[in-house]
Structure 1
Amino acid sequence: MLRLSTKTSIVSKSLRAFSKPQIVGSITSLKKNSNQIEFQRKFNSSQTAASTRSTVVQLLNNIGSKREVEQYLKYFTSVSQQQFAVIKVGGAIITQQLPELASCLAFLYHVGLYPIILHGTGPQINELLENEGVEPQYIDGIRITDPKTMEVVRKCFLEQNLRLVTALEKMGVHARPITAGVFGADYLDKDKYQLVGKVNSVNKSPVEAAIDSGYLPILTSLAETPSGQLLNVNADVAAGELAREFEPLKIVYLNEKGGIINGNTGEKVSVINLDEEFDDLMKESWVKYGTKLKIKEIHDLLQHLPRSSSVAIIDVNDLQKELFTDSGAGTLIRRGYKLINRTSLKDFSNPDLLRSALLRDPEIKSGKLSVASYLKYLESISFKSYGDAPLEVLAIVIEDNHKIPKLDKFLSSKTGWFNNVTDNIFNSLKKDFKSLCWIVNENDSNLSWYFSKSDGSFAKNGEILFWYGLNTEEVSELIKDFDSSNIGSSLSSSKESGVFNSQTQKRGLHTSRTAFEPSTTSNPNPPIRHGSNTKKAKVALIGARGYTGQNLISLIDRHPYLELSHVSSRELAGQKLKGYNKDNIVYSNLQIEDIKKLEAEQKVDMWVMALPNGVCKPFVDAIESVNSSHSKIIDLSADYRFDTTGEWVYGLPELNNRQDIVHAKKISNPGCYATAAQCAIAPLVDHITGIPTVFGVSGYSGAGTKPSPKNDVKFLSNNLVPYSLTDHVHEKEISNQLGLEIAFTPHVAQWFQGISHTISIPIKPGSLTSREIRNIYQDRYQGEQLITVTGEAPLVKDISGKHGVVIGGFAVNSKENRVVIVATIDNLLKGASTQCLQNINLALGYSEYEGIPDDLVIRG
């Protein structure tokens, strides 16, 4: 299945004709620099007008290039409306996600696309049968349908079909229920399954008539024998029969899981290439019952369709992503090709196909190397090649008994990338080679993919060396060889048999922290890894009831030098402190006089204020009122983050002068949102030309323990709650610390802990490539244990429970005037308690990372 770009610019002449509703008029103005697109159109009805306007605006707001428009038009207007897509909707979708389903289908309808929709009703049938005291019976995953069950099945199909049609019509969509007359069938096995059918014919007429009249056809999977007996047919099977008849561009199965889930790992399967994987997949222990039937039916279906056809199993919310983006969503199933391994040029049955594949090589394209000379070179060495039958992807590995195997060429067409043939081939490489190295040009558009396949990398001027499967000694030797000899072109070899050529300046290293430590760093504010203090210190925690206090207690419990002396909480006073094993601590409710006495007796070395905003000043004043005050203070609230007296130091070690924190008497701990946003924006400050916008989403632990809608699990379920749309305290904090205006909008989501920022940063047009931006970040944060720079956009699920910030993405738009960066942070750890401990360590003279796990993993 070809996956198209999201940014599809469609103007009036580019839109396919709207059949129903008919739209009269034209788009009179399109303001590219405005958040609104103004339309002047006449509509047949106000309801239709509102629905059509909203859906068309939704598409037009994603303006793309002329090439993308042409690609869209060529693809979707190349066939009749009936051949656009067959979409099979699982019954649970109608019950649980009907508004989302109707919205997505309305979107397609209003831009002139007419999918054929067929729905199931399995969960509803089970519920009705249970209400009637009938226990569902299955054989080999097929529901036994006796007359009583058939009565329920028919009732369910009619009810659910009407629900979907009604929902669509409320959105201005003309939808036609087609509950019979399409599928002809025989009994599958009357004695075994009773009223279950096997489709033997498809009557296209009702479907074609609906679409020709401007209606979306909404089908059930009920079939009929020649005598008119209704038979129950598996909806997946029925959808396959429709696809065989109409041969659509798209075949989409919507289900509540959003794809096929690997039963062993619990992860969603991204791509299945049947020609290569089907036999092995059918032997997997987790592939059984409905999953096995589904994959087998799809396999059989695709055997009768063009090889370019494929099936996507996705969540309803990903429907537009699947139809309009390169990356797609859910599980993509395609025939693909079996992979072929070759160890000699004689093994290539079609030399012209080999030559065509080699012509994709940048060095050969530029004329620096000819195909003939490279083929001659291959004749003289030992190599192994990997490729699919049409050589959409060709990989060549050079083997040398005395060196690490080198991936000399990895050449893929766009089709190879789109259809994930590249992943299949790289998986084969990993099976055959326990270790491998390769070189890629830093401007390669697929650079993030190469990072994801490696264990580490080393960058020089314009080139990046990657590897996997090497130990520390091998990595050092490989880099030494790379750094001291001539380097050939990326993923290409010159006539020499050596792996590397030409000396250039070393730029930087990416690897796991335990594998190799770079000898130099461009970080102007390096971490303090070796503290001078080894004495025990006493910490008093004021306001320990919240999540941050609990996490800090856990960290101090594992710290070799810190001990809790007092933990104060008004609500928990008198109760035993849980999660702390060094001593038997009981919560107290310290008053101002208690604090003055403790300070005068020097019983506390570090006071930590874990109190709500606006509360801690009396406690700070009490500590400072003692003449012999020797302790230090860290405030976790926002009260002193905007201090202008110079008495408080802002404690973000990676960006502020660490020596200021070392010598500080009072430290203001940064906010969670603010920490991640600053780390993600700061390295680019000198290149920013406008206002960066930060879209932040936090788990509900960020709302604290006091009950509110922002930490109400039921309210947050299937929800995203925006709040403080302007002038949030963290917006002011980020702007104040960076010295530039930023726009920040926070949201709360249904997970517990972890923050994800998507940040759009305007830059001077053409000034920086994605790779150059990534280099800036790698250099700036080199050696930082709590900041990881990655090529991929990091996921919030991977940062939850981890002690640091992950920054990635670095996507530069086509106009090269904006970069989008994604940053994740655990709001309770590096966003609060971990950062607090980092500041305590610096202020008390310990190693900066003492007691902080090094658990961030670089994912490339």
Structure 2
Amino acid sequence: MLISRGRSSSTSLSRTFSLFKYKAKYTSSLSVLPTRKWQTIQQQNRSNNVQQNRPYTRDSSKNEKETIIRLLYSIGSRKEVEQYLRHFASVESQKFAVIKVGGAVLSDELDTLASSLTFLNRVGLYPIVLHGAGPQMNQLLENANVEPNYIDGIRVTDAKTLEIARGVFLQENLKLVEALERLDIPARPIPGGVFIADYLDKEKYGYVGKITGVRKNVIEASINSGALPILTSLAETPSGQILNVNADVAAGELARVLEPLKIIYLSEKGGLLHGETGKKIDVINLDEEYENYMKQPWVKYGTRLKIKEIKELLDRLPRTSSVAITSAGQLHKELFTDSGAGTLIRRGYRLFKYNSVNETDNSKLQQILQQNSETSSDSSSYIKQLGKKSHAIYSDDPYEVLAVVTQENSKSDAIPFLDKFIATKNGVLNNVTDNIWTMIQKDYPRLTWIVDENDENISWFFKRSDGSFTRNGKTLFWYGIENVTDVSNVINGFLSSKAGDKSGKAFSNNSRSYSTFARKNYPNLLRRQYSTSTSPTKVALIGARGYTGRNLIALINSHPYISLSHVSSRELEGQKLTEYTKDDISYVNLKVEQIKEMQKNGEVDCWVMALPNGVCAPFVQAVNDGQTVKSLIVDLSADYRFTDDWTYGLPELGDRNAIRKATRISNPGCYATGSQVAIAPLIPYISESPTVFGVSGYSGAGTKPSPKNDPAFLKDNLIAYSLTDHIHEREVSHRLGTKVNFIPHVAPFFQGIHLTVNIPLNKTFKSSEIKELYEQKYSGEKLIKVVDDIPCVKDNSEKHFVKIGGFGVHSSGKRVVVVGTIDNLLKGAATQALQNMNLALGYDEYEGIPLE
């Protein structure tokens, strides 16, 4: 199982990372469940229970949990979220996380914090919360004319200060508990009784304690009763004298006793900042980087102390534990995504390269190889055979990850082969896989390897390859091979051997059988040379008369690997398809029985249904009834957009790996695509239903005559239609997991869509911050452009991308208007269909799509 933290180890201190550095597949914003949305959900549940004369219980929150998990999918892939949920649920409840909350967070972000904790609890997690109250205490001391006094950074606590501290801790503790209970989350105030302490130095610091013990049974009792434990850092001597303890210190002591997976420090900064660049540090691997950090001139004062204390803490905890410094608003992205949000600090692993199997720890090598072998004799035999080849072995110190690269001794120019790549769960969770891969890339500019095509994590390798070729259930990958002849030789070698005998159980996506996937533009000959025939992929278009069909025909006409075999239109039957130049094709009127026979005979590789809503079911059934090999179907109507056994084909917001594996793809609607792209980055911050004011060109009304596509009627006019319950309103709401209001209109222009989207927010934003969220979300997406200005329809008509801009924020900071434009016939239909076809047929996603 691959659960990669997506954070590469820093090789130098100047290497820092921007937030939300995530693959184009799932670049996502953070997730905070808005308080108002929670209240709405829970009010509805309470109302339903009252009507049915039953009390509101935690059992009745099943639908809420499902809603939360869907919302989590908006910050990362379904796979990420489910893997982290399983990981966190794999330990005892009290070993999930200790969260230290700064006093400033309680003052300024109480609702956000309560929503974040509610979110976690609703998916069955019980974080232990310990809070400070520094800013509140300073204010009360000032009001009481008590001058704060610090020695060695420690607040001197006299009797008056302790009295104020006790009162403010109790007040802040109850404030957080009440905020949680307003959201129907049971929480237990524990202002004291957990920490046992002695005086740190009574003469010097007064009533300041040094923790000597932790009563974890108090915490366990709270969790066992179903309540979140909310702690303060007040401690007691064995005789009952209350002592003040720094909250960070108390959180560390608590972690040492409980040994949680995560220790989280919530702060308004959201992470550690690099002292020279001012950017947030993404990750620190202490085993590799601690000494270098401590030598940096900017690592001083509080930053130096923080890193030092965290290292001392983690040195005493299991290697699986890590510290995260983040903000309340970024907590869920930090916990449930590979890319994270704040600063992740972990012990990390030292990495080693061995030039001979004799240099390795043989017992550890045997152990990890046995995890990948059926018998111990297999691993022993492998080690013996390895000694006869030129090889290099990569691993971390505990051998959680192992990579073996071999090369033929007789050929100095032979391309190296990745013979083994094995990782334990801990190795993956701690990102050792990515770090070892980086080492291999530095040592080997060219590489090949083989993976089982059904390996659940094949996408990890797709992202790291320049090309691939699949045959007989195995996928050959390569990178760094520029010469077409070399690629051909590599594939021939793969075909002539027992494909896959060399490959181990690594991580690996499903490609369609007999297909290649090449991100580099190798010639068509190379791609076709190794297919089952010399013909390109054959596509039949059902419903070719409409505007979308015509645009798809034009795209396929310029596609190097896909050709039309049939175009079906009842009205145009017998007429020549003049706009298609690859072949001499005429329109036909395919009947259901003909489609069934064509499918039986293997005449079509991909069926595209460009039919009106509610029409294509018989045609799909004919393909299903006739298939011996499962051909691809892409449906452009709304008929299967709500069907679970069809894959929803919006690559920028969905799962590209699922699309690659799919044989039934439902192409999203044009309005729905633009609306989802315009709203998705702000899903975590929505407080009320967004409203989409959409205006389409009259091509969106189809070719059947009506007032909505009559230029004379539309002249100097704007027509609103389907004022409520439009199919796209349901589609967008269903896909985003939040209710969206949609009001469509048609205007006198022919092609294009304008979307003005009003989005209420649950926290204050600046326009620049909103734009940054969109840039982070769509970083690397070739068909989504984020711009400063309000995009215009005329600038996007006949183009293949969505444009998002405007970002007008209301003076309150809690409402934003975003503007999107999309060509309804291209990215809203035909272009997106070709994207999906490329992915599912094994081609580069953007093959045949003009990107400028």
TM-score, structure 1 as length reference: 0.52
Match of 1:719 in 2: 686
Match of 2:130 in 1: 118
Match of 1:101 in 2: 113
Question: In the alignment, which of 649, 657, 664 is matched to residue 688 of structure 1?
Answer: 664
Conservation of the 8 A alpha-carbon contact between 2:49 and 2:56: no
Match of 2:840 in 1: none
Q: Distance in 1 between matches of 2:399 and 2:163?
A: 53
Deviation digits for residues 137-192 of structure 1 (CA, Å, limit 9, x no counterpart):
9898x465576987776565343222101112223344332333433446667899
Question: In the alignment, which of 347, 354, 357 is matched to residue 365 of structure 2?
Answer: 354
CA-CA distance at 1:417 after TM superposition? 2.1
CA, structure 1 residues 44+441, in 2 after alignment: closer, same or farther (shift >3 Å)?
same
In the alignment, residue 344 of structure 1 is paired with which amino acid?
S
The answer to whether 1:183 aligns with 2:195 is: yes
Question: In the alignment, which of 420, 425, 439 is matched to residue 428 of structure 1?
Answer: 439
Name the SS of the counterpart of 1:241 in structure 2. helix
CA-CA distance at 1:492 after TM superposition? 6.8
The answer to whether 1:797 aligns with 2:776 is: yes
Match of 1:791 in 2: none
Conservation of the 8 A alpha-carbon contact between 1:174 and 1:214: yes
CA-CA distance at 1:655 after TM superposition? 6.5
Q: Distance in 1 between matches of 2:252 and 2:689?
A: 42
The answer to whether 1:88 aligns with 2:107 is: no
Match of 2:316 in 1: 304
**Identity value in percent:** 40
Conservation of the 8 A alpha-carbon contact between 2:676 and 2:736: no
Q: Distance in 2 between matches of 1:168 and 1:378?
A: 59
Match of 1:163 in 2: 175
Match of 1:382 in 2: 390
Match of 2:574 in 1: none
Conservation of the 8 A alpha-carbon contact between 2:467 and 2:519: yes
Q: Distance in 1 between matches of 2:801 and 2:671?
A: 12
Match of 2:458 in 1: 447
Name the SS of the counterpart of 1:172 in structure 2. coil
In the alignment, residue 177 of structure 1 is paired with which amino acid?
P
Conservation of the 8 A alpha-carbon contact between 1:183 and 1:199: yes
Conservation of the 8 A alpha-carbon contact between 1:440 and 1:491: yes
Q: Distance in 2 between matches of 1:83 and 1:276?
A: 26
Moved more, 158-167 or 719-728: 719-728
Q: Distance in 1 between matches of 2:231 and 2:849?
A: 48
Q: Distance in 2 between matches of 1:350 and 1:50?
A: 52
Moved more, 459-468 or 382-391: 459-468
CA-CA distance at 1:238 after TM superposition? 1.1
Q: Distance in 2 between matches of 1:130 and 1:653?
A: 74
Deviation digits for residues 517-564 of structure 1 (CA, Å, limit 9, x no counterpart):
6656789899xxxxxxxxxxxxxxxxxxxxxxxxxxxxxxxxxxxxxx
In the alignment, residue 688 of structure 1 is paired with which amino acid?
R
Match of 2:467 in 1: 457
In the alignment, residue 310 of structure 2 is paired with which amino acid?
I
Name the SS of the counterpart of 2:173 in structure 1. helix
Q: Distance in 2 between matches of 1:719 and 1:62?
A: 11
CA, structure 1 residues 306+678, in 2 after alignment: closer, same or farther (shift >3 Å)?
closer
Conservation of the 8 A alpha-carbon contact between 1:145 and 1:194: yes
Conservation of the 8 A alpha-carbon contact between 1:341 and 1:384: yes
In the alignment, residue 188 of structure 2 is paired with which amino acid?
R
Conservation of the 8 A alpha-carbon contact between 1:483 and 1:506: no
In the alignment, residue 453 of structure 1 is paired with which amino acid?
R
Conservation of the 8 A alpha-carbon contact between 2:546 and 2:703: no
In the alignment, residue 230 of structure 2 is paired with which amino acid?
I
CA, structure 1 residues 413+661, in 2 after alignment: closer, same or farther (shift >3 Å)?
same
Moved more, 309-318 or 386-395: 309-318
Name the SS of the counterpart of 1:453 in structure 2. coil
Name the SS of the counterpart of 1:485 in structure 2. helix
Deviation digits for residues 8-44 of structure 1 (CA, Å, limit 9, x no counterpart):
xxxxxxxxxxxxxxxxxxxxxxxxxxx9999999999
Conservation of the 8 A alpha-carbon contact between 2:141 and 2:148: yes
CA, structure 1 residues 37+835, in 2 after alignment: closer, same or farther (shift >3 Å)?
same
Query: Where does the alignment leave 5 or more consecutive residues of structure 2 unmatched?
Result: 6-43, 505-512, 529-534, 560-577, 582-635, 638-647, 705-725, 739-772, 786-799, 807-818, 828-845
Name the SS of the counterpart of 2:469 in structure 1. strand
Deviation digits for residues 742-785 of structure 1 (CA, Å, limit 9, x no counterpart):
8566989xxxxxxx9999xxxxxxxxxxxxxxxxxxxxxxxxxx
Deviation digits for residues 493-519 of structure 1 (CA, Å, limit 9, x no counterpart):
499xxxxxxxxx984453456xx6665
Q: Distance in 2 between matches of 1:857 and 1:293?
A: 53
Match of 2:714 in 1: none
Moved more, 38-47 or 374-383: 38-47
Name the SS of the counterpart of 1:387 in structure 2. strand
Name the SS of the counterpart of 2:435 in structure 1. helix
Correspondences of 1:394-409 after superposition (within 5 Å): 394-399=402-407, 401-409=412-420
In the alignment, residue 388 of structure 1 is paired with which amino acid?
D
CA-CA distance at 1:198 after TM superposition? 4.0
Q: Distance in 2 between matches of 1:411 and 1:716?
A: 37
Q: Distance in 1 between matches of 2:367 and 2:701?
A: 52
In the alignment, residue 418 of structure 2 is paired with which amino acid?
L
Question: In the alignment, which of 470, 478, 490 is matched to residue 482 of structure 1?
Answer: 490
Conservation of the 8 A alpha-carbon contact between 1:93 and 1:256: yes
Q: Distance in 1 between matches of 2:177 and 2:551?
A: 58
Conservation of the 8 A alpha-carbon contact between 1:726 and 1:745: no
Conservation of the 8 A alpha-carbon contact between 1:210 and 1:216: yes
Query: Where does the alignment leave 5 or more consecutive residues of structure 1 unmatched?
Result: 6-34, 496-504, 527-641, 663-672, 703-709, 749-755, 760-793, 807-822, 839-853
Deviation digits for residues 443-475 of structure 1 (CA, Å, limit 9, x no counterpart):
332222223334x2243435555455x484xx4
Name the SS of the counterpart of 2:114 in structure 1. helix
CA, structure 1 residues 44+220, in 2 after alignment: closer, same or farther (shift >3 Å)?
farther
In the alignment, residue 423 of structure 1 is paired with which amino acid?
D
Conservation of the 8 A alpha-carbon contact between 2:356 and 2:387: yes
Question: In the alignment, which of 219, 228, 231 is matched to residue 216 of structure 1?
Answer: 228
Q: Distance in 2 between matches of 1:316 and 1:135?
A: 31
CA-CA distance at 1:285 after TM superposition? 6.2
Q: Distance in 1 between matches of 2:223 and 2:110?
A: 22
- State the Cα RMSD in Å: 6.7
CA-CA distance at 1:84 after TM superposition? 5.1
CA, structure 1 residues 159+340, in 2 after alignment: closer, same or farther (shift >3 Å)?
same
Conservation of the 8 A alpha-carbon contact between 2:467 and 2:520: no
Deviation digits for residues 403-439 of structure 1 (CA, Å, limit 9, x no counterpart):
4443322112333223322123223334544554434
Instruction: Give the total of aligned pairs.
Output: 598
Q: Distance in 1 between matches of 2:296 and 2:390?
A: 35
Name the SS of the counterpart of 1:171 in structure 2. coil
Question: Larger RCO: Structure 1 or Structure 2 (Cα < 8 Å, ≥ 6 residues apart)?
Answer: 2
TM-score, structure 2 as length reference: 0.53
Correspondences of 1:661-810 after superposition (within 5 Å): 687-688=663-664, 718-719=685-686, 722-723=689-690, 733=700, 743=728, 797=776, 799=778, 804=783
Match of 1:412 in 2: 423
Match of 2:357 in 1: 345
Question: In the alignment, which of 192, 199, 215 is matched to residue 211 of structure 2?
Answer: 199
Q: Distance in 2 between matches of 1:350 and 1:648?
A: 62
CA, structure 1 residues 87+701, in 2 after alignment: closer, same or farther (shift >3 Å)?
closer
Moved more, 269-278 or 241-250: 269-278
Deviation digits for residues 701-735 of structure 1 (CA, Å, limit 9, x no counterpart):
97xxxxxxx99x9x999437654589985999499
Q: Distance in 1 between matches of 2:123 and 2:672?
A: 32
Q: Distance in 2 between matches of 1:223 and 1:163?
A: 20
Q: Distance in 1 between matches of 2:701 and 2:274?
A: 42
